[in-house]
Amino acid sequence: MIRVLVTDLDGTILFNDTFPDIVREGIEMLLKHGIKVCIASGRMLSSIYNYYKILELDTPIIAYNGAMIGDKDLNIIYHEPIEYPAWFQILEVLLEKDFQINLYFNDNLYIFRKNSYGGNYPLQNKVPAIFVDNIEEIPKLPTTKILGIGSPELVKETQLKLRKIFNNSFYITTSSPTYLEIMNSRVSKGRALKFLSEILDVPISDIAGLGDSFNDFELIRDAGFGITFNNSPEELKEIADYITERDSPEGFREVVDFIVWKNHY
């Protein structure tokens, strides 16, 4: 039985900063059948919270690809940051290229070297930001995540470079073609399921994971039941237990119908 659906946000249920009717109706249907819905995103905790209020959810919030979990009142109940100076090693590599660099300290955003790919980030994510022009202005504190924003070609090239340099010292992934995300090596959306399971007192076997991008790989793989869309990358389809026939967002209706059907039969 599926008792909880953990879903990615952008590109999975949120499109152009809007929840399509098919998503709103689907979530209402899940809640009506007693199935909890939880969001797991690469976004900041405070950014995801804006959408929790719209959907009227009260479950824990998985933020920063699993590096932070907060409750419905934005209290941090789990946090796995990258210590300084470990994250500074990553920063030095990103500084060699034309990246906008975002760093996150206790859910506060610092932006260094704004560029055309990420300049609207605070507005898009509905969060305040501190723009800095000097490296010395960046706090020498543990950071929840480093986000390098640049061209798709640069992101791809640098991701390979970082993995070669640091091997498994960091969790390095992408949430979109222009977003290169680096977290603590012990972080992933899949690992966050373990803590969510304990918080909700629901076994992982009863939790479904839904996502559409590479940072959802562990969520789909490690959930009791992994789900992805027809238009998702092949790497996700290969590990999913269920693939919708339709692309997102229309495929979300299939997801809901399947979960309800599976719980009845």
**pLDDT tens for each residue of 144-171:** 999 999 999 999 999 999 999 999 999 9
Q: Give the pLDDT of residue 264.
A: 87
69 and 110 in a single domain? The answer is no
Asked if the model's pLDDT at residue 265 lies above 80, the reply is: no
Per the structure, the count of domains in the chain is 2
180 and 94 in a single domain? The answer is yes
Mean of pLDDT values over 176-205: 97
161 and 199 in a single domain? The answer is no
User: Could you list the residue range(s) of the whole structural domain that residue 16 is in?
Assistant: 4-79+187-264
Asked if the model's pLDDT at residue 51 lies above 90, the reply is: yes
Q: Give the pLDDT of residue 92.
A: 96
73 and 195 in a single domain? The answer is yes
* pLDDT tens readout for residues 109-149: 999 999 999 999 999 999 999 999 999 999 999 999 999 99
SS3 for the chain is CCCEEEECCECCCEECCECCHHHHHHHHHHHHCCCEEEEECCCCHHHHHHHHHHHCCCCCEEEHHHCEEECCCCCEEEECCECCCHHHHHHHHHHCCCCEEEEEECCEEEEECCCCCCCCHHHHHCCCCEEECCHHHCCCCCECCEEEECCHHHHHHHHHHHHHHHCCCEEEEEEECCEEEEEECCCCHHHHHHHHHHHHCCCHHHEEEECCCHHHHHHHHHCCEEEECCCCCHHHHHHCCEECCCCCCCHHHHHHHHHHHHHHC
Q: Give the pLDDT of residue 109.
A: 98
The CATH number that applies at residue 139 is 3.30.1240.10
The CATH number that applies at residue 55 is 3.40.50.1000
208 and 234 in a single domain? The answer is yes
Q: What is the chain's mean pLDDT, rounded?
A: 97
